[in-house]
Amino acid sequence: MLTHAAEDYLKSIYKLQEKGGKVSTGILAEYLEVKPASATGMIKKLKTMKLVRYERYRGVTLTATGRAIALEIIRHHRLLELYLFKALGVPWDGVHEEAEKLEHVISEDVEARMDEFLGYPTADPHGAPIPDKNGVVVKTASIPMTDLQDGQSCVVAEVSDNDSALLRHLGSFNLYPGTAFRVIEVAPFEGPFTIDIAGQQVVIGREVAKHVFVDQVQDPDNV
């Protein structure tokens, strides 16, 4: 069995690999809130375990085995988030922190029981996809809200889950995955978004909008 720290590194490498392409020591260290020297040390350990590919100064990549473990931990995390949310009523801005600790500790049996209880779900409370038991993830085609234009309609697909205050803020607007809204106006010069959610007019700052990803984008009906 891997240590919690090693699992966190694999999970982080996976996520960074998805976003950008190459995962440098510095990026990884920053993401994990650790010094670069520490990241180098762990990367070397993971390499001897054949969980990553690594050449010094060249960045790090997951091997098939490393990727499988990363997905397993991510599955734990997201199932836990949804379970805590649905079964125990933990608010959506609290589940991430909780799952961050639990993900390393639950058994395969408990994982399977939560999965069954939840009806084999495919997304967590923030809209992130839950890898299935074989490590298969469905890639979503969502785009950042900041790419939207005046008049377009869409549905929230996913929001960043690691900032509790941001989640509370989004919650105050009812901006959950599944919520539909229409862009009324995008203010020029990197300005805020004015949107219509179920008749309510709401202003969303650009920094916040960066963390909201949307789906099913439709252009305005021509009048």
Partner DNA sequence: CCTATAATTTAGGCATGCCTAAATTAGTTT
Partner DNA sequence: AAACTAATTTAGGCATGCCTAAATTATAGG
Q: Which residues bind its own copies (CB under 8 A)?
A: 84, 87-90, 94, 97-98, 101-102, 105-107, 109-110, 113-114, 117
Among 1, 19, 21, 37, binds DNA (CB under 7 A): 37
Segment 140 to 169, residues that bind Mn ion, using CB under 5 A: 161
Which span (22-30, 69-77, 129-137, 213-221) binds DNA, by CB under 7 A? 22-30
What are the tokens at 197? 């959610």
Beta bridge partners of 214: 143, 156
Q: What is the dihedral of CA 108, 113, 117, 120, to 10 degrees?
A: 40
Candidate segments 45-53, 75-83, 171-179, 212-220, binder of Mn ion by CB under 5 A: 75-83
Q: How far apart are CA 151 and CA 153, in angstroms?
A: 7
Nearer to its own copies, 15 or 113 (CB): 113
Q: Judged by CB under 5 A, does residue 11 bind Mn ion?
A: no
CB of 197 to its own copies, least distance (A): 29
Strand partners, 23: 60
Nearer to its own copies, 75 or 211 (CB): 75
* Torsion sign, CA atoms 105, 111, 114, 119: positive
- Which of 10, 13, 16, 39 is in the footprint of DNA by CB under 7 A? 39
How many chain residues touch DNA (CB under 7 A)?
Answer: 27
Hey, what are 162's tokens? 């690691």
Cβ of 159: how many Cβ atoms within 10 Å? 24
Q: Measured between alpha carbons, how far is 100 from 41 in angstroms, rounded to an integer?
A: 22
Helix (H, G, I), strand (E, B) or coil at 52: strand
Query: Mask 125-144, x = binds Mn ion (CB under 5 A)?
Result: -x-x----------------
Residues that bind Mn ion (CB under 5 A): 72, 81, 108, 111, 124, 126, 128, 161
